[in-house]
Structure 1
Amino acid sequence: MNLSNQSSSNSTVQSADMFTEHILNFKQAAEFLSISLSALYKITHKKAITFYKPNGKLIYFKKSDLIKWMLSNEQKSQAEYAEDYLNTLKTKRNG
């Protein structure tokens, strides 16, 4: 194998590694979310989270989709609610 073929092979392996670290199987996703397999099954059954079934059986997740789901339904702090309220009052006065 010459140097250019080896370099090409290394970059292919690196891109495959990058891909696989962003794709999780069902068990890995449950561990990443710190929930039980049963809880993750219920979430996927309700289609509350994005998942992929390329062969019709096994379920896979993109790590970015899991993070997006974890950060959904934000609960604001009291300070943030107060700030929003004050901004609303300022807008009404100026409007």
Structure 2
Amino acid sequence: MNTIKLDERLERIESLLLAQKKVLTIEEACDYTGMSRSYLYKLTSTGAIPHCKPSGKLIYFDIDLL
């Protein structure tokens, strides 16, 4: 197989794994939505998207609400 097909398969596998999760970290949410990290932070600070910070630092997102 060539590199392009392997990359496509890897991306498909990663997206399937993300779809099975219910809660995403900021990095996973970026991959899932295609948005940049800074834009997601901006949306959370304005209250535009629901999120939680149980420990006060790390941001988590419910995949159903993204």
Is this a same-fold pair by TM over 0.5?
A: yes
Report how many aligned residue pairs link the two structures. Answer: 47
Which residue does 1:75 correspond to in 2? Answer: none
Which residue does 2:42 correspond to in 1? Answer: 42
2:41 and 2:53 map into 1 onto residues whose CA distance is: 13
Structure 2 residue 66 is matched with structure 1 residue 62: no
Counterpart code for 1:48: A
Aligned positions of 1:8-27 closer than 5 A:
21-27=21-27
Which protein is bigger by CA-based radius of gyration? 1
Which residue does 1:29 correspond to in 2? Answer: 29
| Residue ranges of structure 1 left out of the alignment (5+ in a row) | 1-19, 67-95
Give the number of the structure with larger relative contact order, counting CA–CA contacts within 8 Å between residues 6 or more apart.
2
2:23 and 2:33 map into 1 onto residues whose CA distance is: 14
Following superposition, the deviation at residue 31 of structure 1 comes to: 1.2
Alignment RMSD: 1.2
Counterpart code for 1:52: C
Which residue does 1:70 correspond to in 2? Answer: none
| Residue ranges of structure 2 left out of the alignment (5+ in a row) | 1-19
Aligned positions of 1:49-88 closer than 5 A:
49-66=49-66
Following superposition, the deviation at residue 39 of structure 1 comes to: 0.8
Larger helix proportion, structure 1 or 2?
1
* Misfit runs of 4+, over 4 Å: none
